[in-house]
């Protein structure tokens, strides 16, 4: 055995999984209701709550930026981790390709979100 | 590498034989819907970055009946994720000791679900007040 154990990267992915799982458990249902049902169809909530000026202002606000990034990135890191580890249970032998697709898409989505949020200005 | 191909018992549908594992597979599958919803939001963010016309196009897509069906499914699946996330939490988190006693599983699950309801109400009120 080589001297010095290789540090596992599992805690990083597990932390992202835990954070994303918690965030989606707390915010997910209400977010889906607000952005996908209530506002687009003017049901219970104001129909122009997601108008361009309002959403632009939200995405230019530092707290808004943080919230958008946390939701998109952590939801996807959570899902990537859970889907990757479920593949085995569905009888799919998860290899490097599956790992790259799961975590890779979460990584790419995170990078895209950061780029767009920075591009929108402050 | 050995040329032998030993018999590997098929894992096909193993979980269907036990209701406990059926539930497990359902709650693990909710991750697909969390991912689906996050991708909808990601597309929205990209469209927002492309300007007003692009954003309005995304909003219009969100008003389609197909989108409504998708979001109703997302809502059910993610709400189920919320329920199972906090239901499992007493097992997944390290024990919490309050006043020398271990906090019971019912209290942990209950507090989590209560927090989710609280967060949801705050978000709805915020959008109601500032969204008009």
Number of separate domains in chain A:
1
Interface predicted TM-score (ipTM): 0.92
Scanning A68-97 for CB atoms below 8 A from B yields: 68, 71-72, 75-76, 78-80, 82-83, 86, 89-91
The pLDDT tens digits of the residues spanning B86-115 come to 999 998 888 888 888 988 899 999 999 999
State the residue for tokens 């709400």. B79
Beta carbons of B128 and A59 less than 8 Å apart: no
Q: Apex CA B25: angle with CA B19 and CA B28, to 5°? A: 140
Sort out which chain A residues have CB atoms less than 8 A from B123's CB and list them: 27, 30-31, 34
- Domain regions of chain B by residue span: 14-130
The verdict on residue A6 lying in a domain is no
> Environment class of residue B32 by beta-carbon count within 10 Å: exposed (0-12), middle (13-18) or buried (19+)?
middle
DSSP string, B45-114: HHHHHT-HHHHHHHHHHHTSHHHHHHHHHHHHHHHHHHHHHHHHHHHHSPP-EETTEEPPHHHHHHHHHH
Evaluated on CA atoms B112, B115, B121, B124, the torsion sign reads negative
- Which CATH number is B14-130 given? 1.20.1300.10
CATH of the domain at A32: 1.20.1300.10
* Residues of chain A below pLDDT 70: 1-4
What integer is the mean pLDDT of B116-121?
97
- Return d(Cα B95, Cα B83) in angstroms, integer: 20
User: Which range marks the domain in which residue A105 is found?
Assistant: 12-119
What mean pLDDT, rounded, does chain B reach?
A: 92
């Amino acid at each position: 055995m080589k001297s010095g154990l290789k540090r596992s990267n599992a805690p990083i992915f597990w932390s992202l999984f835990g954070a994303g799982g918690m965030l989606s458990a707390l915010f997910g249902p209400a977010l889906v209701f607000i952005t996908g049902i209530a506002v687009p169809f003017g049901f219970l909530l104001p129909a122009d709550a997601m108008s361009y000026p309002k959403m632009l202002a939200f995405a230019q606000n530092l707290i808004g930026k943080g919230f958008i990034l946390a939701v998109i990135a952590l939801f996807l890191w959570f899902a990537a981790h859970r889907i990757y580890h479920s593949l085995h249970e569905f009888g799919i032998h998860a290899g490097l390709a599956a790992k790259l697709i799961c975590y890779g898409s979460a990584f790419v989505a995170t990078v895209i979100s950061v780029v767009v949020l920075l591009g929108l200005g402050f | 590498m050995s040329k032998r191909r030993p018999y590997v018992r098929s894992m096909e549908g193993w979980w269907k034989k036990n209701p406990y594992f059926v539930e497990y597979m359902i709650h693990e599958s909710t991750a697909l819907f969390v991912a689906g919803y996050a991708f909808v939001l990601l597309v929205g963010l990209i469209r927002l970055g492309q300007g007003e016309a692009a954003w309005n196009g995304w909003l219009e897509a969100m008003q389609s009946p197909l989108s409504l069906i998708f979001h109703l499914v997302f809502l059910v699946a993610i709400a189920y994720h919320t329920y199972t996330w906090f239901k499992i939490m007493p097992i997944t988190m390290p024990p919490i000791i309050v006043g020398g006693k271990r906090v019971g599983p019912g209290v942990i699950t209950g507090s989590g679900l209560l927090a989710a309801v609280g967060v949801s109400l705050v978000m709805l009120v915020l959008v109601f007040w500032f969204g008009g």
